[in-house]
Structure 1
């Protein structure tokens, strides 16, 4: 027989730690709240039915009293029962203690009507949501209602210390469903279950039944419904790392930053450092929680908007992952503005720093009272996201496109990419363009002290970049910068300056002839070059840097200096001596190829050093020894440009690893170099040079390109297979390289003997390559012979702008 004694809807109160408000911690002081208990006792009632004697059965009145006693337990036992699971076990124990007959099973269902904000009770029943769902065209334009139900089954006995917050799960699930856009209910149910398992602590201990109903789908029925039961093992793509990170209840938010007073670049970096370490702010009432800056945009110089009679702004955006509420995040932003130095000013006037919350997940938040929401003049101190002015501001949308191009505005149903395109189409042709810029820090001896040891700015470059405002497509900046190559080595393939006097003479001439930066290298990367120890490399490089910095010629002592090294200890020594930039021919991975564990250690060491020193870095593509590893056949099937695709994939992966995630480099600190002459054939070098603009084009990669993503959770709102190098400034280094010598080899008249062209006799060939580099939009060219190549770059810039 299958007999039951049931009690439905027993309404009581109990002090519990569950709360519908995810930002309130009630674990230390449980709050009295209503509960609804349902009991199901599995008992053979045949004897009581035959005898009509209650002693042969169980008094449901007594059972209810037992449940009530569990809810008003002694204070000493209250801590153990403060969670819903602890209280459920207490009810089971009290009921079993009062039952004198042998029963086969006791089921207790506990509902907490006030523990969730939208679902009807604690088990997430009848959760009303709205989403894009359906295969018909009309279903793709508007969100429609769906009803979600979830029931969880735990595989093991729960102890009283276990705490589970259904309110957080409800919020997490709601955000996911309402941001989704599936064609079928089946897919929505499956992916929603997967997201729940990704969120759960110890997900392998659960099975889940999840149902999704679609009320608007049928005219003559209430709703079609899909119900599935899944376990963690059903989702092979989930692993311990992914669900543990999701379980932290973090949310992605995009912030816009701007500064037009003081050292604008230093102000922005200081604000970001405070975001990453906001608990160190020396102000009262700092909220508890976490903020991690996990991605940044490029930097842009922008003409002022609204109030035009003020200095130009430096603007950027960052993506943070935070456990703070939107309001607490706003509080932190305002604290940072005050600490960095913002003072009251006219509306839209000058400011040392401005931080605005643009998005907070996919949520719509407005903390103003409803009667005040018609105006945009009362936003101070209020959270309104998405930011109501974002669609009219290129200085917000352009940086956002760098980091969250596919984030969709919840009211407008347009992505950031689409919103920017729409704004640019309406932009007047005469309006000043936004200009991408790259700052260089001052030398350590000239830096002014600041919080977090943020370097002051020595100089910044306006970078050539193609924009499309309206119908115009042109280079707004026609400046291609020139890097002079100072090799302080005895075995370089060209221009050896192994004495300090020779090195200083070259630097003086280079600056006089128009070089923008001097690249000092102490370790030749030519094929077959002799090994140089880190100590010896430092002994070569540091004196040259110091000599330039201590020159009596101010134009020389003020020149930007780059150190050409792949070693962290050499880079640190050179920066401390006065260099402003690092040029790493192995893009952090070291000379080993293929990569090994040592390569990973090398990568992390260089990445952390660059972040610490706050200097820009040039990351070049290479595959170990410059004369080896020239096979790109694995990329042939992708397009007719296998070397180009190989460089985009391989260098792109390193740039992604360097910039994405907690503790990453700022995007504006990186310039990329395709590594012409390194592990490429003559034809491969030509392919790269003639297609250099495609290296960083803002477009999708061929569909078969396999770019590994950084370890950990993937960032949201990105386009799969999008070019990871999109938008980065490019350095092209072709000067005097052997592939040019191969192209211009000549034979003796009437004979067969090939006359090789020495490196010093390849300058005209270099000039042709530099012209092509400028035409392809290179931000900088690296040369040996400065005066002539400066002229070439200037004329080429005039031709191609």
Structure 2
């Protein structure tokens, strides 16, 4: 047999042929091009210029065209069938000097521009020996050229919000492909080039995001190797990557037999962790009601987003979180947000949030457990993607793991849930990033992009990507009220600050309050004052039965209850619907008084002590689920006037994250004051959260008049923007991954300046005239510095101030 490397070639011979199943699965007459390379030795005909020793390529070409003319009514099953029959016909030609003496083999390359929809063309390369043999020749390949894909890829922020084109060429081993296809057909399974292409297209365009093209090309190779059992050579080009260049790219070649490849489930250059080396709990042993008190949940840190737009949304979320605790420890919760639907817009608005947990469950076991909560407990019905749901629980981040089990989902294992980590669409969703920002430490970086959550949120806000999927991107913070079955809220849009200033009216049923002592001792009179406030436009009535003014002494709990409960009950029994349904706050630092007041009809607990005066207060807040105003103070009322010294943090275990942007208007002394107050509030909140208080219950009160001097009271008003953007990390003493993070992001702030002594000192007024003008000036300042709720005595007059302040500073008319 002649084994010479000489070649005779025919390029791009054109013809048409009938194919039973084209790209649309129907019969079609398609154009093709065929190229031949005939391996021969030209020495004999070349030396003597002997035509009789030459292979006649004209005859070969005409025979091929005649073959298709003669079979114009016949059909081929597919392109592979066409090339197989055509090549056999060429090999057996008798009139062109084409025989085993003149050549050793022929390479056939069939090209089609219409066989597949997305690629530029399909090429099949088949090498056939002139002498029949049972062994297959090498270099038989299937080639896909010019598959253009739109995907998120790149390091820069702008590359995370705008998909860009990549071009993919890849070749497969034809012998392997035909073998796998025959194997699948024997077991009645589909296996075709279209299926392979759809798998790659869906993955690259819908389910992936990468920093590097190395990661993307590597992931595509895993699909071909692990899902379809095919050797592959891949060329990937990133278009528009460099100015003055058509493209940049990478070419790789991968082969099958390595177990390390077949079992490799992670992608990219992050923490390479596979399910096999993550501690897994047997999912069959998981019980929804199992409290699992022996589990310390310390192995893995996971961030989960939650949302609901069906039924009692807040209640659904609470139920989901309750069951989640059987297999995880809740570390922190975000605020709750009312959000407009994304993607599919014709459905009710959602309530969304995020939770940080610790768990021993592996990623897939955790996913399975979350689905149990969704479908078994809360009876979720999934009509279609992104549609209405009673609850939705999505794993956003699992440690720093980058993971995709796409290639593990085979024909034999279709029931396996598909999981991609980090969540592939989290970076395009405000309703994910904004809650996540509240519970993720500022130093935390996205495992793929290596950018902070704050950076991604800013990028998304400045882009048009979110607007493509939602009519209105505003996220409204809500504080729900259990007495109204969580269907009545306080609402705040902290993005635009276009919220009317809420007015809390003060009713002190005490004989010794600093400004209204004895005015509301009689029930009839105090009730009349409540009615007047309601019709003057009050939003919340704050009822107190124990004076906390500086220097005061506490009354007994029973006496405090005797002062407040009759008024609460009278309001709730009022025949006037407007009075009966007004929101009531109980101003107390005692857990017992708070609990009995809520049971009597109070909606909010207002505690000036940060839970310091009664160690059961946080338990009551947790159990009742009502909003909780946490007020800053130092010491008891009879000593707080001496405790107005604030110093810079020196504890190495406390890492503060003050906002330099929002402290630019503060002098150093004011920065120290603001941070010190925030630090003490943060440490108190950490205790509350550990008990089970939810962030969406919290309203902050920096405590004007409580352990602050005149200048400090004024500084607090100026520091409101700084307070609203404060966060803190409490480091774990064992230096484990157990740092605690707390953020004041998206917490409403209440300020109470009404009639206080510092106003009288500045205006030279005593309390007898009510210090109304001085109070009005402070209220206007509080509105200008973005306070959300103001607490006042003179509701009717201050209502006018609030209307003007909201018009000036918030453009609310």
User: Considering the TM-score relative to the shorter chain, is it more than 0.5?
Assistant: yes
- The residue number in structure 2 matching 1:680 is 708
Pick one of 385, 388, 396 that aligns with 1:358.
396
C-alpha distance in 2, partners of 1:489/1:427?
56
C-alpha distance in 2, partners of 1:269/1:623?
33
- The residue number in structure 1 matching 2:489 is 460
| Kept in 1: contact 2:646–2:676 (CA 8 A) | no
With structure 2 as the length reference, what TM-score do the two structures score?
Answer: 0.57
Is 1:385 matched up with 2:421?
yes
C-alpha distance in 1, partners of 2:572/2:674?
38
- The residue number in structure 2 matching 1:30 is none
Change (3 A) 1:441 1:418: same
Q: What's the secondary structure of 1:628's corresponding residue?
A: helix
C-alpha distance in 2, partners of 1:246/1:266?
26
- The residue number in structure 1 matching 2:777 is 768
- The residue number in structure 1 matching 2:358 is 321
| Kept in 1: contact 2:649–2:676 (CA 8 A) | no
C-alpha distance in 1, partners of 2:688/2:748?
16
Pick one of 607, 611, 629 that aligns with 2:622.
611
Report the alpha carbon displacement of residue 409 of structure 1 after superposing the two structures with TM: 2.4
Change (3 A) 1:533 1:610: same
C-alpha distance in 1, partners of 2:498/2:633?
29
Is 1:784 matched up with 2:797?
no
Q: What's the secondary structure of 1:369's corresponding residue?
A: helix
Is 1:418 matched up with 2:467?
no
- The residue number in structure 2 matching 1:125 is none
Change (3 A) 1:428 1:480: farther
Is 1:484 matched up with 2:493?
no
Report the alpha carbon displacement of residue 340 of structure 1 after superposing the two structures with TM: 2.3
Is 1:639 matched up with 2:639?
no
C-alpha distance in 2, partners of 1:768/1:666?
34
| Kept in 1: contact 2:270–2:401 (CA 8 A) | no
- The residue number in structure 2 matching 1:43 is none
Is 1:538 matched up with 2:523?
no
Q: What is the count of residue pairs matched by the alignment? A: 502
Q: Deviations over 1:64-91 (max 9, x none)?
A: xxxxxxxxxxxxxxxxxxxxxxxxxxxx
Q: Deviations over 1:261-303 (max 9, x none)?
A: 22222221221112124xxxxxxxxxxxx31111001111111
- Aligned pairs (5 A) from 1:328-727: 328-338=365-375, 339-369=377-407, 381-404=417-440, 405-427=442-464, 432-443=472-483, 456-465=485-494, 467=495, 475-495=496-516, 496-590=519-613, 602-603=614-615, 605-626=616-637, 627-635=640-648, 639-641=668-670, 642-659=672-689, 661=690, 663-698=691-726, 724-727=743-746
Report the alpha carbon displacement of residue 716 of structure 1 after superposing the two structures with TM: 5.7
- The residue number in structure 1 matching 2:809 is 800
Report the alpha carbon displacement of residue 142 of structure 1 after superposing the two structures with TM: 11
Q: What's the secondary structure of 2:642's corresponding residue?
A: coil
C-alpha distance in 2, partners of 1:255/1:265?
16
C-alpha distance in 2, partners of 1:583/1:481?
15
| Kept in 1: contact 2:589–2:607 (CA 8 A) | yes
C-alpha distance in 2, partners of 1:411/1:482?
46
C-alpha distance in 2, partners of 1:263/1:580?
19
- The residue number in structure 1 matching 2:749 is 730
C-alpha distance in 2, partners of 1:710/1:686?
35
Q: What's the secondary structure of 1:634's corresponding residue?
A: coil
C-alpha distance in 2, partners of 1:368/1:142?
18
Is 1:306 matched up with 2:355?
no
Question: Larger Rg: 1 or 2?
Answer: 2
Which is further off, 637-646 or 532-541?
A: 637-646
Runs of 4+ in 1 over 4 A off after TM superposition: 140-143, 177-180, 245-249, 370-373, 428-431, 707-719
Report the alpha carbon displacement of residue 563 of structure 1 after superposing the two structures with TM: 0.7
Is 1:265 matched up with 2:265?
no
C-alpha distance in 2, partners of 1:765/1:409?
49
Change (3 A) 1:248 1:261: closer
Task: Structure 2: state its 5+ residue gaps.
Answer: 1-211, 216-265, 273-278, 280-293, 651-666
- Aligned pairs (5 A) from 1:74-113: none
Task: Structure 1: state its 5+ residue gaps.
Answer: 1-139, 144-173, 181-198, 200-244, 278-289, 448-455, 468-474, 591-601, 702-706, 746-755
Change (3 A) 1:304 1:743: same
| Kept in 1: contact 2:630–2:698 (CA 8 A) | yes
Change (3 A) 1:631 1:425: same
| Kept in 1: contact 2:433–2:457 (CA 8 A) | yes
C-alpha distance in 1, partners of 2:544/2:696?
23
With structure 1 as the length reference, what TM-score do the two structures score?
Answer: 0.58
| Kept in 2: contact 1:522–1:537 (CA 8 A) | yes
| Kept in 2: contact 1:298–1:436 (CA 8 A) | no
Report the alpha carbon displacement of residue 330 of structure 1 after superposing the two structures with TM: 1.5
Report the alpha carbon displacement of residue 426 of structure 1 after superposing the two structures with TM: 0.8
